[in-house]
């Protein structure tokens, strides 16, 4: 039975602290239907190695997995297994049976008894429906959220009757509870209870009716956004940005006053999460949040979607019929195939969204898809010229293009954008790595996101710095400092010799909200424009391997999230980081007034973290307020750090992670414990798992 809680129960076991501590290797893989052996094996290996793998042959993948788990205690979860074909499962059984420790365990979730028998399960747990009272507890906790006790009392009689229609299924209770959460009157609750949809004979007992009720309660734009997600395969990990951009490209998102459509699209997604159409994915270790659709919700989305969008993966029929081709608006290639891309351009001339996720050669005729709004080429091969990837000039014919994503591999060759890139005047997003951008970028005045721009002091081509300030709508900017790719010109056309001068000469728009600076090679960093970014909320500084002191980031008034990674020459973080100009000033100062998230990772020489408390007594201490809104602090791979600053005692920290360095971990468990014991969530680990 679907929706009864198998995956949820498995997640509870997988994430249990004792389980985490007991096993050396833990892997969660979604199997679903069809069972793609190579895909499953590759996911297992990549989860173990925590990086992408170039292996493609099943036996090579299984051999590598065996090498990684040999002699170790591993815990492997196969979630949502459907296949009853023993021949499909046998290679995994044979490979894993004698590799790991005898204490290793494999957990399988499935709806089919035959699967459990086929996998030779030692113990089988069959989940039962929730009791009527437990089902009511699940439903009411969500449905009565943010309602006062009097409202709850008035609605309880209808609520209990609606809860009974969930038939003991947790997913149904959660879905209906999410629907009723936004209905305030008895009349609205009565209408749901008496709806004719309850009479449907569902493919999944007790589930399609609640889903239909929730779906019909959505606005028309939200219905389009939800049903569109059926194009993605089951168990797909949804990136919110991916959905925001594709929804926008199709025109599903209605504008609202002066609100940017991307912001409105994010609100749409939040509504779908609250309505339980998406759930946060917690079994994978991602820097950014990912979401999944329950497979029954995915089936439901497929049952209502229009046949204007096509996702092609292993086993899919492609190309579709000629009649259907004419109406297609989306094509997504999830797996490698030998389909001729020139034929796609010829047959699908009305495409608005094209996503190529694995290796394909991009034809020059791509420029004929003039209706394209969203083009994702991060799996495409491009012609190589002088060790640089060159994007076809015909891309510049895509006059309606709003979103362009290129390969996101920081170690890849530079990507030369075409000289006519300035013709894409509707472009709102340009993402890649090692992008060499020609002059004319300043014409893209609708650009909101620009990621992966190479900045260097060598070469003779590239955009002028002053062009950046013309991008007044830009909110998200990523800059890479490389040695040998791109000439960087100052606003006065003078050759910049030092990397410090290069950074200082930048003139980014003042309304930036997110900024990433990577591979900066100067020993100091103090650009005046950085602390003047009054709307900057998120800053990421990484791979600045020569940097010996941090800039005065405490002066950035709106900063909410700060990540500093792989600054390997830094030994001390002191008052210069806080932006305190003089230790002797007698005035009230707020440092990092809005910072909520702070992360240090890979500062291998870091020894001292000195706070801003002035010496001399209580009166002086009261002059400074440091990080008054800090919620989470993460410190990883900083093996020489000896202590934490005293000011952390006065912050409202809710979560502290100190991972992979023994000196301070030992002290936090001992002499410093009284300084951190008030923090609700504390994670201390001396060594990597």
**Does residue 223 sit in helix, strand or coil?**
helix
At residue 61, φ and ψ (nearest 5 deg) are -65, -45
Rounded to an integer, what distance in angstroms lies between the CA atom of residue 682 and that of residue 5?
Answer: 29
| pLDDT for res 71 | 87
More confident residue, 295 or 515: 515
Rounded to an integer, what distance in angstroms lies between the CA atom of residue 632 and that of residue 596?
Answer: 6
| pLDDT for res 8 | 86
**Does residue 506 surpass a pLDDT of 90?**
no
- 3-state helix, strand and coil shares in percent for the chain, rounded to the nearest 5: 35, 20, 45
Could you read off the pLDDT of 278-304 as tens digits, one per residue?
A: 988 764 444 567 898 888 888 888 877
Rounded to an integer, what distance in angstroms lies between the CA atom of residue 271 and that of residue 218?
Answer: 9
**Does residue 611 surpass a pLDDT of 80?**
no
| pLDDT for res 688 | 47
Question: Percentage of residues in the chain with pLDDT exceeding 70?
Answer: 79
Rounded to an integer, what distance in angstroms lies between the CA atom of residue 229 and that of residue 195?
Answer: 26
The pLDDT confidence band at residue 270, using thresholds 50, 70 and 90, is very high
The pLDDT confidence band at residue 426, using thresholds 50, 70 and 90, is very high
Q: Provide CB contacts within 8 A for 204, sequence distance 6+.
A: 2, 3, 296, 299
Q: Which of 221-225, 308-312, 446-450, 505-509 has the lowest mean pLDDT?
A: 308-312
Question: Percentage of residues in the chain with pLDDT exceeding 90?
Answer: 24
| pLDDT for res 201 | 52
**Contact status, residue 488 vs residue 465, Cβ threshold 8 Å:** yes
**Contact status, residue 230 vs residue 294, Cβ threshold 8 Å:** no
Mean pLDDT of 464-493: 67
Mean pLDDT computed over every residue of the chain: 81
Mean pLDDT of 507-535: 87
Tell me how many degrees the CA angle 398-400-406 measures, rounded to the nearest 5.
60
Which neighbouring-strand residues pair with 309?
330
Which neighbouring-strand residues pair with 634?
599, 657
Q: List C-alpha distances in Å: 645 to 198, 551, 626, 665.
A: 60, 18, 11, 14
Q: Which two tokens stand for residue 96?
A: 């894993």
Q: List C-alpha distances in Å: 455 to 441, 502, 668.
A: 14, 8, 41
**Contact status, residue 332 vs residue 310, Cβ threshold 8 Å:** yes
Rounded to an integer, what distance in angstroms lies between the CA atom of residue 288 and that of residue 329?
Answer: 29
Which neighbouring-strand residues pair with 453?
435, 479
The number of beta carbons lying within 10 Å of the beta carbon of residue 358 is 13
| pLDDT for res 409 | 62
The pLDDT confidence band at residue 617, using thresholds 50, 70 and 90, is very low
The pLDDT confidence band at residue 488, using thresholds 50, 70 and 90, is very low
Mean pLDDT of 578-607: 83
More confident residue, 440 or 197: 440
The half-sphere exposure of 125 on its side-chain side, counting CA atoms within 13 A, is: 10
> Domains in the chain, start-ordered, CATH in brackets?
6-118 (3.30.370), 132-216 (no CATH), 220-304 (1.10.10.10)
Rounded to an integer, what distance in angstroms lies between the CA atom of residue 275 and that of residue 278?
Answer: 8
Q: List C-alpha distances in Å: 402 to 372, 431, 642.
A: 8, 12, 49
Rounded to an integer, what distance in angstroms lies between the CA atom of residue 206 and that of residue 455?
Answer: 57
Q: Which two tokens stand for residue 552?
A: 């005065």
Could you read off the pLDDT of 546-572 as tens digits, one per residue?
A: 899 999 999 999 999 999 999 999 999
Which neighbouring-strand residues pair with 190?
none
Would you give the DSSP letter of residue 666? H
The DSSP element (H or E) to which 189 belongs, if any, is helix 186-193
The pLDDT confidence band at residue 624, using thresholds 50, 70 and 90, is confident
| pLDDT for res 195 | 80
What does the DSSP assignment read for 79-111?
Answer: EEE----HHHHHHHHHHHHTTS-TT-EEEEEES
More confident residue, 132 or 586: 132
């Amino acid at each position: 039975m679907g929706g009864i809680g198998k995956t949820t129960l498995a997640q509870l076991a997988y994430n249990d602290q004792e389980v985490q501590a007991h096993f050396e290797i833990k892997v969660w893989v979604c199997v679903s239907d069809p069972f793609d052996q190579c895909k499953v094996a590759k996911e297992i290996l990549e989860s173990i190695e925590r990086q992408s793998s170039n292996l493609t042959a099943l036996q090579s993948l299984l051999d590598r997995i065996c090498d990684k788990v040999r002699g170790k205690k591993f815990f492997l979860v196969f979630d949502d297994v459907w296949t009853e074909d023993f021949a499909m499962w046998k290679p995994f059984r044979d490979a894993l049976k004698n590799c790991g420790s005898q204490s290793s365990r494999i957990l399988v979730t499935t709806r089919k008894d035959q699967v459990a028998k086929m996998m030779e399960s030692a113990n089988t747990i069959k989940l039962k429906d929730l009791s009527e009272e437990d089902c009511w507890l699940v439903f009411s906790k969500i449905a009565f959220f943010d309602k006062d006790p009097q409202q709850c009392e008035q609605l309880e009689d209808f609520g209990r009757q609606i809860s009974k229609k969930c038939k003991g299924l947790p997913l149904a209770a959660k879905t209906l509870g999410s629907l009723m959460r936004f209905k305030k009157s008895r009349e609205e609750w009565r209408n749901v209870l008496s709806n004719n949809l309850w009479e449907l004979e569902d493919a999944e007992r007790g589930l399609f009716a609640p889903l239909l009720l929730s779906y019909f309660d959505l606005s028309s734009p939200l219905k389009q956004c939800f049903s569109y997600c059926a194009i993605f395969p089951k168990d797909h990990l949804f990136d919110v940005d991916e959905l925001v951009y594709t929804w926008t490209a199709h025109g599903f998102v209605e504008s609202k006053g002066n609100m940017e459509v991307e912001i409105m699209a994010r609100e749409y997604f939040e509504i779908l999460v609250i309505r339980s159409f998406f759930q946060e994915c917690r079994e994978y270790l991602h820097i950014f949040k990912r979401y999944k659709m329950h497979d029954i919700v995915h089936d439901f989305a497929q049952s209502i979607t229009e046949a204007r969008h096509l996702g092609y993966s292993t086993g899919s029929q492609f190309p579709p019929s000629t009649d259907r081709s004419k109406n297609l608006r989306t094509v997504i290639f999830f797996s490698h195939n030998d389909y001729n891309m020139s034929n796609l351009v010829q047959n699908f001339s009305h495409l608005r969204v094209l996503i190529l996720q694995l290796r394909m050669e991009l034809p020059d005729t791509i420029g004929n898809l003039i209706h394209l709004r969203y083009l994702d080429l991060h799996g495409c091969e491009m012609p190589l010229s002088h060790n640089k990837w060159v994007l076809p000039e015909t891309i510049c014919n895509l006059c309606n293009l709003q979103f362009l994503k290129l390969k996101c591999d920081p170690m890849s060759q530079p990507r030369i954008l075409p000289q006519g890139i300035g013709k894409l005047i509707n472009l709102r997003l340009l993402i890649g790595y090692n992008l060499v951008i020609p002059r004319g970028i300043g014409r893209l005045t609708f650009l909101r996101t620009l990621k992966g721009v190479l900045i260097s002091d060598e070469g003779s081509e590239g955009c002028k710095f002053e062009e950046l300030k013309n991008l007044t709508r830009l909110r998200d900017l990523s800059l890479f400092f490389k040695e040998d790719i791109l000439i960087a010109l100052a606003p006065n056309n003078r050759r910049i010799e030092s990397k410090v001068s290069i950074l200082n000469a930048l003139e980014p728009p003042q309304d930036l909200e997110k900024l990433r600076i990577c591979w900066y090679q100067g020993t100091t960093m103090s650009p005046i424009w950085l602390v003047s970014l009054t709307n900057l909320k998120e800053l990421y500084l990484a791979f600045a391997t020569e940097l010996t002191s941090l800039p005065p980031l405490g002066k950035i008034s709106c900063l909410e999230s700060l990540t500093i990674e792989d600054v390997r020459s830094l030994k001390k973080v002191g008052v210069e980081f806080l932006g305190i100009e003089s230790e002797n000033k007698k005035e009230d100062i707020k440092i990092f007034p809005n910072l909520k998230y702070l992360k240090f990772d890979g500062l291998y020489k870091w020894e001292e973290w000195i706070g801003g408390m002035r010496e001399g007594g209580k009166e002086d201490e009261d002059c400074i307020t440091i990080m008054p809104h800090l919620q989470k602090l993460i410190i990883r791979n900083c093996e020489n750090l000896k202590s934490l600053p005293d000011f952390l005692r006065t912050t409202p920290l809710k979560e502290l992670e100190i991972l992979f360095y023994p000196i301070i971990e030992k002290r936090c468990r001992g002499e410093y414990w009284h300084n951190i014991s008030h923090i609700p969530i504390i994670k201390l680990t001396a060594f990597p798992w």
